[in-house]
């Protein structure tokens, strides 16, 4: 277990340094164990929260389906049910198309940024290889 240490006044410098190193090592190991335990607890809480968010999203998706069915039934009061379902389906596909176009435009705008980063990294590598002699000040 723990070995008996001589009193600090009787210990040599080497013994004091060895004792200090052992104490620091023990302290670091203990702190790492506590950090692991804290991270495990946090991970469990985050996992539970993420699972509940997933369940909420699934229930919301079912709710959206029920809302769409309600809209179809409401339209079907004045039209044939198949026509009401067709109208709602067409509106949903149009909304999906608009969302896809907006998303594509958003992604296309971002596509240029990585090229600038690649050029910057290449310049950094070139500078590191050849020193600062070839770069403008």
Does residue 80 register a pLDDT over 90? yes
Residue 124 to residue 118: CA distance in whole angstroms: 10
Nearest to 73 by CA among 56, 62, 87, 57: 87
CB burial of residue 75 (10 Å; 0-12, 13-18, 19+):
middle
- Which comes out higher in pLDDT, residue 10 or 5? 10
Express each pLDDT in 15-71 by its tens digit: 888 888 898 999 999 899 988 998 888 888 889 999 999 999 999 999 999 999 999
What percent of the chain shows pLDDT beyond 70? 83
pTM confidence score: 0.50
Does residue 132 register a pLDDT over 60? no
């Amino acid at each position: 277990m723990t070995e008996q240490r001589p009193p600090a006044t009787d210990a040599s410098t080497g013994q004091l340094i060895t004792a200090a190193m052992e104490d620091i090592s023990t302290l670091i190991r203990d702190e790492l164990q506590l950090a692991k335990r804290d991270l495990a607890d946090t991970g469990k809480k985050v996992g539970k929260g993420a699972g509940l968010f997933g369940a909420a999203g699934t229930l919301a998706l079912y709710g959206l389906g029920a809302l769409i069915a309600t809209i179809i039934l409401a339209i079907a009061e004045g039209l044939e049910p198949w026509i009401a379902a067709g109208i709602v389906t067409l509106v949903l596909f149009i909304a999906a198309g608009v969302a896809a176009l907006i998303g594509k435009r958003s992604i296309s705008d971002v596509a240029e940024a990585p090229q600038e980063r690649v050029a910057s990294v290449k310049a950094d590598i070139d500078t590191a290889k050849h020193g600062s002699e070839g770069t403008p000040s």
